Amino acid sequence: MTRIAIVEDEADIASVVQDYLRHAGYETTHFTDGRSALEAIVAAPPDLTLLDVMLPRMDGIEVLRRAREHTAHPIIMLTARIEEVDRLLGLELGADDYVCKPFSPRELVARVRAVLRRTAGPASGSPGAPGSTADGAGDAPGLVLDDVHWRASLEGTPLNLTRREFGLLQVLSRHPGRIFSRARLLELAYDDTVDVTERAIDSHVKNLRRKLGAAAPEHDWIRSVYGVGFAWEAPVPA
Ligand code: CA
């Protein structure tokens, strides 16, 4: 059975989340402070951890930072404010997803499923295996990037991208599932940012998404995270 650790000091939220996850077939354990949660998840990493940011005894950021020295299991951060996500993304802590409060429990369960699916892939003992979703593991399945000539193809179809679109595709697709804020994309995907606004990124993403969709319409490759940014969604291997 898939085990999920819930680290949340607000009893009401924890109990609703616990009910929904159990109903969805997951086994849950609940921690109300950061320090005891860290000890438990390092000693025996669950299949996934839901980690609140504001916690007594040790905050969620510190728990995540320390946990990452020992375990790569998927961790979803629960944050109180959408503005906080931008700050957290900048810290590059290695969380697998962020969910803002208040959230619908149904949406949370969907995100848990998506993260588990995405991180299931090949065992961590086989880095670089086809379909691996680990950071830096290479191009997404079916996607070929030619970094020298800024050319890309998806499932054999040339994408015909502008340099901006290519830069975005490079950053997003090489970190499947990771959410990038517009500010971060501006930093990473654009070598020359003088004339680029964060709004311009939206239109570049829109064009990129349209071109990806034309080449492989059965999948939505780029996920918009409302108020936050964008993430690459690799299709689930058949
Ligand atoms: Ca809290």
Distance 162 CA to ligand 1 centre (A): 44
Partnered with residue 119 across adjacent β-strands are none
Query: Could you tell me the sign of the dihedral formed by the alpha carbons of 38, 107, 236, 190, in that order?
Result: negative
Distance 77 CA to ligand 1 centre (A): 11
Residue 54: helix, strand or coil by DSSP? Answer: coil
Question: What one-letter code names the amino acid at 234?
Answer: A
Backbone angles phi, psi at 28, to 5 degrees: -120, 150
- Write down the CATH superfamily of domain 3-118: Response regulator (3.40.50.2300)
**Does domain 143-232 match CATH 1.10.10.10?**
yes
What is the structure's pLDDT at 130? Answer: 37
Contact 31, 37 (CB under 8 A): yes
What is the structure's pLDDT at 182? Answer: 86
| Ion ligand 1 residue ranges (Cβ < 5 Å) | 9, 52, 54
Distance 9 CA to ligand 1 centre (A): 5
What is the structure's pLDDT at 76? Answer: 93
List the pLDDT tens digit at each of the 238 positions of the chain: 999 999 999 999 999 999 999 999 999 999 999 999 999 999 999 999 999 999 999 999 999 999 988 888 999 999 887 777 777 776 777 788 888 888 888 889 988 998 888 777 544 333 333 333 333 344 567 888 888 888 899 988 999 998 889 989 988 988 878 888 888 888 788 776 667 788 888 999 999 999 999 998 888 889 888 778 898 887 766 5
CB within 8 Å of 236: residues ≥ 6 apart: 117, 118
Write out the residue limits of the CATH 1.10.10.10 domain(s) in the chain.
Answer: 143-232
Q: Measured between alpha carbons, how far is 187 from 174 in angstroms, rounded to an integer?
A: 16
Distance 53 CA to ligand 1 centre (A): 6
Write out the residue limits of the CATH 3.40.50.2300 domain(s) in the chain.
Answer: 3-118
Distance 34 CA to ligand 1 centre (A): 10
Partnered with residue 151 across adjacent β-strands are 146
Distance 28 CA to ligand 1 centre (A): 18
